[in-house]
A and B are shown apart, each in its own frame.
Chain A
Amino acid sequence: MFVRLVYESFRRQKRRKLLAGAAITLGVTVATAMIAVATDIGDKMNRELRTIGANLLITPQEDTLDVEIGGVNLKPPSDGAFLNEADLPKIKGTFWHNNITGFAPVLPVNVTLERDGKTENLTLLGTYFAKQISFGKEEFTTGVRSTHPWWKVSGMWPGDSSQDVLLGERLAARLSAKTGDALTLSGRSLHVSGILSTGGAEDDEVVGPIALAQEILGKPGAVRRVYVSALTKPEDALGRRDPKSMSGPVYDRWYCSPYPQSIAFQLQEAIPHSHAEQIRQVAQNEGAVLTRIEGLIFLVTLAALFASALAVSAAMATAIFERRAEVGLMKALGAGRFAVASIFFAEATLLALLGGLVGFAAGGMLAQQIGRSIFNSAITIPPVLLPVILAIAVIVTFAGSAAAIRKAVGLDPVFALRGEL
Chain B
Amino acid sequence: MSGAAEQLHSAKDVAAGRANVPHTSMFVRMLVRAAVLRRGRAASALFAMVVAAAVATAMLNLYVDVQAKLRREFRNYGANIIVVGKDSASLPANALTQVETVVAGHGVVAPFALVVARAGDGQPIVVAGTDFDRVRQLDRWWSVSSWPSAPQQALVGVRALSVVSPKKQPFDLEFQGHTIHLTAAGTVQTGAAEDSRVYLSLADFVAWTGVQPSTIEVAANGSPEEIAAIMNQLQQAIPAADVRPVRQIMEGEARVLGKTRATLLAAAALIILTAALCVLSTLMGWVFDRRRDFAIMKALGASDGLLNGFFAAEAAALGAMGAVIGFVLGIGIAAWIGRANFHAPVVPRFGVLPFVLAGSMVVTLLSAILPISLLRRVQPAVILRGE
Contact = CB atoms under 8 A, between A and B. Distances in A.
A346 interface: no
- Residue in A51, A53, A72 whose Cβ sees the most chain B Cβ within 10 Å: A51
Interface in B152-174: 159-160, 163
Contacts of A68: 126, 193, 196
Contact of B192 (A75, A279, A374): A279
Interface in B245-277: 245-249, 251-252, 255-256, 259-260, 262-264, 266-268, 270-271, 273-275, 277
B73 interface: yes
B251 A51 contact: yes
Interface string A181-223: 0000000000000000011100000000000000000000000
Interface in A63-100: 63-70, 72, 74-75
B78 A281 contact: yes
B61 interface: no
Nearest to B77: A285
A318 B126 contact: no
Given A52-B252, A199-B246, A374-B259, A296 B284 contact: no
B76 A285 contact: yes
A199 B59 CA distance: 37
Interface string B105-130: 00000000010100000011110000
A279 B76 contact: no
A33 B270 contact: yes
B76 A57 contact: no
B256 A49 contact: yes
B210 interface: no
B95 interface: no
Contacts of A278: 191
Interface string B55-81: 100110010001001100110111000
Interface in B264-294: 264, 266-268, 270-271, 273-275, 277-278, 281-282, 284-285, 288-289, 292
Nearest to A66: B196
B195 to A, nearest CB: 8
Contacts of B340: 295, 299
Contacts of B78: 281
Given A280-B189, A284-B141, A67 B256 contact: no
A140 B245 CA distance: 32
Contacts of B386: 325, 418-419
A18 to B, nearest CB: 13
A299 B341 contact: yes
B271 A307 contact: yes
B255 A51 contact: yes
B337 interface: yes
B77 A52 contact: yes
B21 to A, nearest CB: 30
A70 B126 CA distance: 11
Nearest to A264: B191
A92 B378 CA distance: 74
Contacts of A57: 191-192
Contacts of A288: 73, 76
B365 interface: no
B215 interface: yes
A53 to B, nearest CB: 5
A185 B154 CA distance: 41
B176 interface: no
Most A CB within 10 A of own CB, among B123, B193, B245: B193
B208 interface: no
Nearest to B385: A419
Interface string A254-297: 00000000000000000000000111111111001100110111
A317 B285 contact: yes
Nearest to A44: B259
Contacts of B248: 51-53, 148, 150, 199-200
Contact of B58 (A33, A37, A303, A317): A303
Contacts of B114: 69-70
B342 A292 contact: yes
Nearest to A282: B77
Contacts of A418: 386
A66 B386 CA distance: 91
A26 interface: yes
A370 B264 CA distance: 11
Contacts of B160: 65
A293 B275 CA distance: 24
Contact of A70 (B76, B163, B215, B246): B215
A292 B247 CA distance: 23
Contact of A30 (B190, B193, B249, B274): B274
Contact of A374 (B141, B143, B191, B263): B263
Interface in A377-421: 418-419
A337 to B, nearest CB: 17
A49 to B, nearest CB: 6
A318 B289 CA distance: 9
B123 A64 contact: yes
A364 interface: no
B46 interface: no
A229 to B, nearest CB: 12
Contacts of A374: 259, 262-263, 266
B181 interface: no
Given A65-B159, A70-B114, A310 B51 contact: yes
Contact of A314 (B246, B262, B278): B278
Contacts of A2: none
Nearest to B143: A280
B33 interface: no
B126 A67 contact: yes
Contacts of B270: 30, 33-34, 304, 366
A47 to B, nearest CB: 10
Interface in B201-223: 214-215
A321 interface: yes
A63 to B, nearest CB: 8
Given A70-B114, A315-B281, A318-B281, A45 B260 contact: yes
Interface of B: 44, 48, 51-52, 55, 58-59, 62, 66, 69-70, 73-74, 76-78, 84, 88, 114, 116, 123-126, 139, 141-143, 159-160, 163, 189-193, 196, 214-215, 244-249, 251-252, 255-256, 259-260, 262-264, 266-268, 270-271, 273-275, 277-278, 281-282, 284-285, 288-289, 292, 333, 337, 340-342, 386
Ranked 6 nearest A-B pairs via Cβ: A318-B285, A199-B247, A419-B386, A52-B252, A311-B278, A295-B341
19 contacts: A44-B259, A48-B252, A48-B259, A63-B159, A67-B125, A69-B88, A74-B116, A281-B141, A282-B77, A293-B70, A297-B264, A300-B59, A300-B62, A300-B267, A307-B271, A311-B274, A317-B282, A370-B266, A419-B386
